[in-house]
Structure formats: structure tokens, C-alpha cells
Structure 1
Amino acid sequence: MRLSIYLLLTEGTPGYMDPGLLDQYELTDKSDVYSYGVLLLVILTGQRPVDLRRQPRDQNLVNRCNRLMTQGLFANIIDPILSEAVESPSTLEAMDAVAKLAIKCVSRDGHDRPTMKEVVSELHTIQRKTETSDSKMVKSLAKKVNISEEFSLVPLAGGQWHKSYDISTSISAVGR
């Protein structure tokens, strides 16, 4: 519901509008895919679709992202705040996959864009891969951490005592 309202609000907004609409005056289902691709890029980059404060070749976010992705500079398009929040390699891979999907969505030629059904399917696939990968990583890490049954009592404020468990890890094993 929120997404459809957002897309309605962005209809005709510079930067979100399908360039084919300007060329051929034809609004298609693939025009919505273009707008959705721009929305994904806005989320990933934290930038506006059009920003006249950027260098002339980068004022249009789609052009900027296309150029950087073609040059293999994926990390340069990601919002630094979002980058800092990444906690696992699978999350970074998912962000890369979403960026590649967004680039497909904003293809200049509408025939080269996926359908919205294909976009949704791809997003579900990315989500499943991330969940599976993160789950495997957590299970692998859990096997490498040994929690001993021995514990000691640790004094807390107010005269209370707390059980302290001995947690030991093999640093070389965790780093893999």
C-alpha cells in the first residue's frame, strides 16, 4: 500500500519518470518498473534522483549509478551509513544483487526491463539467499564458540550476585 502511494506521488517527478515517456509519450507497465528501479537506487544510495549540486555527468542518479556499476565501483554508490550497518558478507552480496536489479529496471529501453512480477520474484530470491546464508553463518559460528558449564558468581550493585559463564573461542576459527 505504501509503495503504491509513493509511486503515485512520484509519477511525473523528474528523475523517476521513464525516459521512454519523454521520447514516445507512451506510459507502459515498464514505466512503473523504471520508477521502482529509481526508488531502489534512492534507497541504496541515500541520494536524490536529480541533484544539480553533483557534477554534470552525475546529476541524474540513474546515469551516475549506471556509470559506476559498469566500472565495477558498486561500493561507491552505496550510502555510507548503509555500508556501515552491514554486518555480514551475505548482506553486502544482497545489496549488490539489489543494485544490479535496480540497474536492469532503469534500462533506457523499456523492452530490456524486467516485468514487475520478475522484479518481485528476484527480490524474494535475494531475500531467501540472504536468510539462508546468514543462518548458515550463525550456525557455523555457534559451533566454534564453546560455552563451558562452569560458572562463577560475580557481585553486582546492590549486593546481588550474577552467574558468569566462561565463554572461550578459537580466534583463528572465528575469523574464517
Structure 2
Amino acid sequence: MGAGASLKARVTVLVHDVSSAQRLIDVAKLAYGLGFTHLVATKVYGAAASSGVPEVTRLALRLGRSFSVLPSVKDAIELFAPDKVVVVSREYGEPVEPWSYAEKLASSQGSVLIVFGGIDAAPGKDVAGLGEAVYPVGTEARLTPVAEAALLLYPLSRILSRETS
């Protein structure tokens, strides 16, 4: 595990309010594939709970990564105690340019929890109010949760990897 991996360990990716097994699996593959080591799912129900959680658990174990399922975002904040919470919400967030925002996050000290919505509606005001609410600039409508995660996590992964090479 290189130094970039240790910086990526400061980042916890959280998917909130997810019922689709495939969406949960896709977010896990994205986060783990970009080198992030911690994934949390909150408010998991339906197919995501019955078949997505076992599949993501298997993937995490195979890759030596962590995966946790918790009741709420508040529980995740309480247990992980991040220094910064970012909530991706088109309805309540401020527009950010993904690469510039990734630079800002990478240069900050401490741990970061990044919350992505797991359903087509973005996280609500109650969740958005738990941290700094943002969304990728230049989008005309809410993207799928996996697309939003890719737009924001890829630059962060590249910058964190670059800082250690």
C-alpha cells in the first residue's frame, strides 16, 4: 500500500438512502477502484439490503477494504468523527468545479466524509444540513448517484495519488 493509499484512507465515501443493489455495488466498485478504502451505506433497504450488502461485503473483503452499514448519516458522523462532512445535493448545494474542489479537499487536514445520495432524488435538506452541501457545476439536472460520485471522486483520487509521487 503506497503513500497515496494512506491519504485516501482519510476519505470515507458514504451512500445514503439506497434501495438498488446494483447502485450500491456500482458505488462500491467506483470507490474501491479509485483507491478509497472506506465505504459506508446508510438507510439501506429493499434489494440493496438483501443482495447488495452481501455482494459489497464480499468485494470489500476480497480487496482488503472496509464496508459498514449504519442506520443514518448522523450515526456515521458520530462513529467516524470526520473533520469535514461534504454532502452532494443538487437541490441544496453550492456549485463546485470538481477538480478545484478536489484540490481544496486534498489540501485540508484531517478526515473527510463524502455523502452521496443513493436514489434519484438528492439527499434532502436534513442530510444536506449535516455538512457542506455541493454539486458538480455545469450539470443541467441531477445526475445519477454513480455519475456524481465519479465526477467528484476521480479528481480527488488523482490529486491524492499525485501528492505522494
Q: TM-score range by the shorter chain?
A: under 0.3
Higher relative contact order (CA 8 A, sep 6+): 2
User: Whose strand fraction is larger, Structure 1's or Structure 2's?
Assistant: 2
Structure of higher CA gyration radius: 1
